[in-house]
Amino acid sequence: MSLINVKNLSVAYGANTVLHNVDLHLQPGEIVTIVGPNGSGKTSLLRAIIGATKPASGEITLKRGLKIGYVPQRLHIDQTLPITVERFMRLTDPVSQANCQAALETAGVPDLLKRQMSLLSGGQFQRVLLARALINGPDVLLLDEATQGLDQPGSAAFYRQIEAVRRDTGCAILMISHELHVVMSASDRVICLNGHVCCEGAPAVVASAPEYRALFGTGTGGALALYRHDHDHDHDHAHHHEAAE
């Protein structure tokens, strides 16, 4: 049975519908990546799954007792808030120091336990967020552009870590990413989103799909095309959609 089952989901903010009839299923142990231009509803989809945004219609079914580890897009810790990595790891669950340490090791940052969060580098910070998400042995990890603010080697290393986490713990991973080149190699399945599901499937299949090319272009220019794609592109199939701005 799938861990997450999204059926016919629509999400709207006021009169602005950002997601239309989206279907999504996540199987145990799968790495699924959602790609799409800015304003395509990627974050809204993830917010709906964690319950932060109420769907306008459709349903989201989570497997009973599903444990979700969530890695937010960006987390700003105010300078005035003193907090050590260890305390941050225990934010929502009472866990032992040994478990904190083990999660940090899984995330690739074993030496940070006693450090202040505000003094970490961008890469360290994201890995601590990953460690926190891993701490109660989740069935699924949700990552919302978790490598934002990291340089290319940094984000490549981060995604390798994600693959290692899947290999070692077997947890499923659903992530949003802007970094098409990395995503394509690291995912089992890619969902291309632009208000609705444009196309989905194995990375190679999606990369050659006309809908995907319409959004991202072809070849190495793909990553750049992300920022100047055409919002009112049209597909052969009859989806009615207003592009979300």
Any contact of residue 17 with other proteins (CB under 8 A)?
Answer: no
- Which CB, 70 or 122, lies closer to other proteins? 70
- Give the whole-angstrom CA distance, residue 140 versus residue 7: 18
Any contact of residue 164 with other proteins (CB under 8 A)?
Answer: no
Q: List Cβ neighbours of 233 (8 Å cut-off, separation of 6 or more).
A: 194, 214, 215
Residue type at position 44:
S
146 exposed, middle or buried (CB, 10 Å; 0-12, 13-18, 19+)? buried
From the CB of residue 178, how many other CB atoms can be counted at a distance below 10 Å?
18
User: Hey, what's the torsion of the CAs at 17, 142, 123, 135, to 10 degrees?
Assistant: 150
Q: List Cβ neighbours of 151 (8 Å cut-off, separation of 6 or more).
A: none
With contacts defined by CB under 8 A, name the span among 30-38, 82-90, 119-127, 196-204 that binds other proteins: 82-90
Site string for other proteins, 118-147 (x = CB under 8 A): ------------------------x-x---
- Which CB, 73 or 161, lies closer to other proteins? 73
Smallest distance, other proteins to C-beta of residue 82, A? 5
Smallest distance, other proteins to C-beta of residue 68, A? 6
In the list 14, 65, 80, 236, the residue contacting other proteins (rule: CB under 8 A) is: 80
Phi and psi angles of residue 26, each rounded to the nearest 5 degrees, phi first = -125, 120
In the list 13, 28, 38, 52, the residue contacting other proteins (rule: CB under 8 A) is: 52
Site string for other proteins, 84-113 (x = CB under 8 A): x--xx--xx---------------------
SS3 of residue 142 by DSSP: strand
The residue ranges that bind other proteins (CB under 8 A) are 47, 50-52, 68, 70, 72-73, 75, 77-78, 80-84, 87-88, 91-92, 116, 142, 144
